[in-house]
């Protein structure tokens, strides 16, 4: 029994140490904080009749999701610069280091939800007719999208051995997000209304929606973790 407890405490300590290092990566520069603060600022600046109904809000949500997801690349860059094993920095196993990355990803996803709620509340300042509760559905959707993007980025970050590869990854994700946002902006009104009705019908089934979101996130993180662990192992020396 004591041996099991020692192993459990050792793993917990290793995971905690890995989490501290990953959080240090995020907090090492002021740009990571300022980049996220720009989202609510731009959402207010670009909100109004001149930019179309809800343009600033959509822009703020997209910026928040993209910025939060890209934070994981900050840790991937540090991995490349320090060596994948990070000898002398993290006294933990490979699995703990990879697991810590996903725990940080969940924290970032929750942060993105909080920021989108803040952005939703700020829209009332520039548009008195803005419905805070009516647009609140974007917060959990944004957090879900952030979590899925992180599940994609973590193994991709371990895949590259040069910073150029990470830059290409970031640009591809950015182009995809930008293309989707532009596509949604130019869709005919009839299509937009149809999508809105479909979304409302899905949201109405709250219990099944929550189950589907949680199941998808768990499956995506599980598959991503297995792939990332194998790629990480191949990079060790």
Q: What is the mean pLDDT of residues 129-143?
A: 83
pLDDT at 91: 47
pLDDT at 87: 44
* pLDDT higher than threshold 70 for residue 116: yes
Q: How many percent of the chain have pLDDT more than 90?
A: 4
Q: In whole angstroms, how large is the CA radius of gyration of the chain? A: 20
Instruction: Output the CA torsion sign for 229, 103, 158, 9.
Output: negative
Q: What pLDDT, in 10s, does the model give residues 76-114?
A: 777 676 665 554 445 456 677 788 888 888 888 998 899
Listed by start position, the domains of the chain span 2-235
Measured in degrees and rounded to the nearest 5, phi and psi for residue 52 equal: 95, 150
* pLDDT higher than threshold 60 for residue 36: yes
Residue 203, CA distances (Å) to 15, 143, 196, 208, 226 in order: 36, 15, 10, 9, 31
Half-sphere exposure of 26 (CA within 13 A, CB side): 20
Of the two residues 19 and 145, the one the predictor is more confident about is 145
DSSP state, residue 3: H
Q: What is the mean pLDDT of residues 3-14?
A: 57
Residue 116, CA distances (Å) to 121, 153, 154, 155, 205 in order: 9, 21, 23, 26, 22
Where is average pLDDT lowest: 129-133, 202-206, 218-222?
Answer: 202-206
Of the two residues 103 and 34, the one the predictor is more confident about is 103
Q: What pLDDT, in 10s, does the model give residues 40-74?
A: 776 777 665 545 567 778 778 888 888 888 787 77
Of the two residues 36 and 108, the one the predictor is more confident about is 108
User: 61: how many CB neighbours lie within 10 A of its CB?
Assistant: 25
Highest-confidence range of 32-46, 146-160, 179-193, by mean pLDDT?
Answer: 146-160
Q: What is the mean pLDDT of residues 180-193?
A: 69
Tokens of 171: 């640009």
Q: How far apart are CA 198 and CA 24, in angstroms?
A: 42
Label residue 28 by pLDDT band (50, 70, 90).
Answer: low
Label residue 149 by pLDDT band (50, 70, 90).
Answer: confident
Q: What's the CA dihedral at 60, 32, 154, 178 to 10 degrees?
A: 30
Helix (H, G, I), strand (E, B) or coil at 48: strand
Decide: 132 and 54 in contact? Cβ < 8 Å.
Answer: no
Q: What's the CA dihedral at 181, 183, 185, 187 to 10 degrees?
A: -150
Task: Provide the angle, in degrees to the nearest 10, between the axes of the packed helices 55-82 and 94-126.
Answer: 160
Helix (H, G, I), strand (E, B) or coil at 52: strand
Computed over every residue of the chain, the mean pLDDT equals 74
Label residue 31 by pLDDT band (50, 70, 90).
Answer: low
Chain CA centroid to CA 128, Å: 30
Where is average pLDDT lowest: 3-7, 181-185, 216-220, 225-229?
Answer: 3-7
pLDDT at 221: 92
User: 52: how many CB neighbours lie within 10 A of its CB?
Assistant: 12
């Amino acid at each position: 029994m004591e041996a099991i407890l020692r192993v459990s405490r050792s793993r917990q300590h290793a995971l905690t140490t890995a989490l501290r290092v990953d959080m240090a990566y995020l907090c090492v520069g002021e740009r990571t904080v300022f980049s996220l603060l720009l989202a609510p600022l731009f959402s207010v600046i670009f909100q109004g009749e001149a930019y179309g109904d809800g343009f600033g809000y959509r822009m703020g949500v997209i910026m928040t999701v993209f910025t939060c997801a890209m934070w994981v690349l900050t840790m991937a860059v540090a991995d490349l610069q320090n060596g994948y094993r990070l000898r002398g920095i993290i006294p933990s196993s490979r699995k703990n280091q990879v697991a810590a990355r996903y725990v940080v990803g969940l924290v970032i996803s929750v942060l993105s939800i909080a920021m989108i709620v803040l952005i939703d509340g700020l829209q009332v300042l520039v548009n008195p007719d803005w419905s805070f509760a009516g647009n609140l559905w974007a917060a959990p959707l944004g957090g879900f999208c952030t979590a899925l993007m992180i599940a994609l980025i973590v193994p991709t970050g371990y895949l590259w051995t040069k910073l150029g590869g990470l830059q290409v990854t970031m640009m591809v994700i950015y182009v995809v997000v930008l293309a989707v946002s532009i596509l949604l902006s130019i869709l005919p009104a009839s299509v937009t209304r149809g999508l809105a009705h479909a979304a409302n019908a899905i949201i109405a089934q709250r219990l099944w929606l929550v189950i589907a979101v949680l199941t998808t996130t768990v499956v995506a993180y599980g598959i991503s973790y297995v792939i990332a662990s194998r790629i990480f192992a191949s990079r060790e020396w």
